[in-house]
Amino acid sequence: MSKLARFFACIALGGFSAAVHSQAPSPELKAAHAYQAAVHDGPLALRAFLNGFPKGADLHVHLGGAVYAETFIRDAGEDGLCVDAAALTFAKPPCTAPLVPAAQIAAHQDLYDRLVNAFSMRSFVPTPGVSGHDQFFATFGHFHGISNKHVGEWVDEVASRAAAQNQQYLELMETPGFSGAAAMAKENPLTTDFAQYRQTLLALGLKDEVFLDREDVKAAEALRREIEHCDTPQATAACQVEIRYIYQILRGNAPEQVFAQTLLGFETVQAAMEAHEPGFVGINFVMPEDGFLSMRDYHLQMKMVEYLHSVYPQVHISLHAGELAPGLSPPEGLRFHIREAVELGHAERIGHGVDALYEDDAAGLLKEMAQKHVMVEVNLSSNEGILGIKGADHPFPLYRAAHVPVALSTDDEGVSRIDITHEYVRAALDYHLSYADLKQLARTGMEHNFLPGASLWESPDVFTAPAGACKTQPLGADKPTSACKAFLDGSEKAAAQWEQERRFRVFEAKF
């Protein structure tokens, strides 16, 4: 396609008509032309273009699911574990036959292949009785048993991958220890008086685990910074990736345990936030939403979050909700999860939100989410793998049309065998997005991260006018005025958003 034809294709597809009259196209418009040229040239050209596109944040990442199978197998070898070739799991030593030492996997290529497949969606083809949903969630049961000492290495792996794709911020979901809280819950049946039940658990010493849970992520963060040689001249690019953590709660457990773990999560996040440490910033509920207990107790669990939010209002909340599809659950199960997550659970962000159009008064729900600025973490590959939902069956375009904020995320990039660039390519092609649309998605992720401080932008989710102090500045300027700099120094969120704008400026200057 000629340059001129590409230009007109861009005008037809994007939102850049105002620039038609401009004498010299702006760097942003040139980048938009290059983007449309890449779209025309196909997925590989688009991949190459989008790899360096400043993607900002990934707000929906499970650390365990983000690590690739190959890493787990190497770690098992280092830990001296064995491979159970029948179960495709790791086992404790001694590795007597038929167990195979994981360190000797090089001599067993066939077993290695089968392990990688069992730990991921690689080579998976649904068969009668085994769906993508079953395979996806089963993977987590296969790569168990590896020492926690590798967690910092896993954080480094994920951060390094993010850095290689010009991504600057991650919120990693992690489940720290909760055995004490679980034991207390087992001994004390849940009562309908949540305040009293909370007091009972606190009196029994539930907070004792808070310190350990905070130390968990602090140790992981310290190790990854050591691996990356941060704060030294040899610092790797991964050091530039800022990481915060989300406290995962297992929704598929008995109600008293869910309450106790949720309480521990709120306590831990609150303590981390009060200490201003770069650790936990929010909570989330995980495990299959269609599981027996998840479905039976959904409303009860949202009531728990509602109560605990009233006690710990500063703790941020993101909830997996609507990770369901027709047929996976009865129609009645699709009618209220997202709304309850928003209205009872006070979720600031929704993970997945795939069944939104099956909810009661779906139009009203989308309107409410737009009005409350509740963001949806969209995980396209995961949704196809687990739910079989893609293309026109996915509500992504409908959320956008309803002005509900949306951002792309990976969910479990190791299990899905993808990365964030893959998700951008997929969204761009499946939904015919313009360059401006992609910037909107990337900025939305940074707008809705859980970093403390005011937003860079004057109005929520409107990415045209920066807040007062930085209003007159070129976005992302290296040397903003002292008033703007003072504002950025006082807000971690705004500073990260400014950095994203700086990256846009650098990226677009190349075209």
Q: In terms of Cα–Cα distance, which of 389, 390, 415, 355 is closest to 135?
A: 415
272-291 residues near Zn ion, rule: CB under 5 A: none
| 8-state DSSP, 374 | P
Q: How far is the CB of 127 from Zn ion (least distance, A)?
A: 25
Q: How far is the CB of 326 from Zn ion (least distance, A)?
A: 20
Decide: 84 and 99 in contact? Cβ < 8 Å: yes
Q: Which residue has the tokens 């998700």?
A: 423
Q: What is the rounded CA–CA span in Å between residue 20 and residue 24? A: 10
> Which residue, 221 or 411, has its beta carbon nearer to Zn ion?
411
Is 369 exposed, middle or buried, given 0-12, 13-18 or 19+ CB atoms closer than 10 A?
Answer: buried
> Which residue, 30 or 244, has its beta carbon nearer to Zn ion?
244
Decide: 160 and 238 in contact? Cβ < 8 Å: yes
Q: How far is the CB of 379 from Zn ion (least distance, A)?
A: 7
> Which residue, 285 or 504, has its beta carbon nearer to Zn ion?
285
3-state SS record for 210-275: HHHHHHHHHHHHHHHHHHCCCCCCCCCHHHHCEEEEEEEEECCCCHHHHHHHHHHHHHHHHHHHHC
> Which residue, 253 or 284, has its beta carbon nearer to Zn ion?
284
382-411 residues near Zn ion, rule: CB under 5 A: 411
**Residue 407: strand, helix, or coil:** strand
> Which residue, 411 or 501, has its beta carbon nearer to Zn ion?
411
Count the residues of the shown chain that bind Zn ion, applying the rule CB under 5 A: 1
Q: Strand runs (DSSP E) across 242-389, as ranges?
A: 242-250, 280-286, 316-321, 349-352, 375-378
Query: What's the distance, Cα to Cα, between the start and end of the chain in Å?
Result: 17
306-365 residues near Zn ion, rule: CB under 5 A: none
**Residue 285: strand, helix, or coil:** strand
Residues 6 or more apart whose Cβ sits within 8 Å of residue 106: 112
> Which residue, 228 or 412, has its beta carbon nearer to Zn ion?
412
Where do runs of H (alpha helix) occur along 86-150?
A: 109-118, 132-142
> Which residue, 185 or 347, has its beta carbon nearer to Zn ion?
347
Question: Which residues are paired to 407 by β-bridges?
Answer: 377
> Which residue, 201 or 324, has its beta carbon nearer to Zn ion?
324
Q: What is the rounded CA–CA span in Å between residue 92 and residue 94? A: 7
Q: Which residue has the tokens 């699911």?
A: 65
| Rg value, the chain, Cα | 23
Where do runs of H (alpha helix) occur along 14-60?
A: 27-41, 43-51
| 8-state DSSP, 472 | T
Q: What is the rounded CA–CA span in Å between residue 48 and residue 207? A: 48
133-162 residues near Zn ion, rule: CB under 5 A: none
Binding mask 408-437 for Zn ion (x = CB under 5 A): ---x--------------------------
> Which residue, 101 or 282, has its beta carbon nearer to Zn ion?
282
Q: How far is the CB of 178 from Zn ion (least distance, A)?
A: 19
Q: How far is the CB of 286 from Zn ion (least distance, A)?
A: 6
The distance from CA 195 to its chain's CA centroid, rounded to whole angstroms, is 31
> Which residue, 73 or 420, has its beta carbon nearer to Zn ion?
420
Q: How far is the CB of 245 from Zn ion (least distance, A)?
A: 14
Q: How far is the CB of 338 from Zn ion (least distance, A)?
A: 15
Q: How far is the CB of 184 from Zn ion (least distance, A)?
A: 27
Q: How far is the CB of 383 from Zn ion (least distance, A)?
A: 10
> Which residue, 16 or 247, has its beta carbon nearer to Zn ion?
247
Q: How far is the CB of 136 from Zn ion (least distance, A)?
A: 10
Q: How far is the CB of 65 from Zn ion (least distance, A)?
A: 8
| Nearest-CB residue for Zn ion | 411
- Residues lying near Zn ion in the complex (CB under 5 A): 411
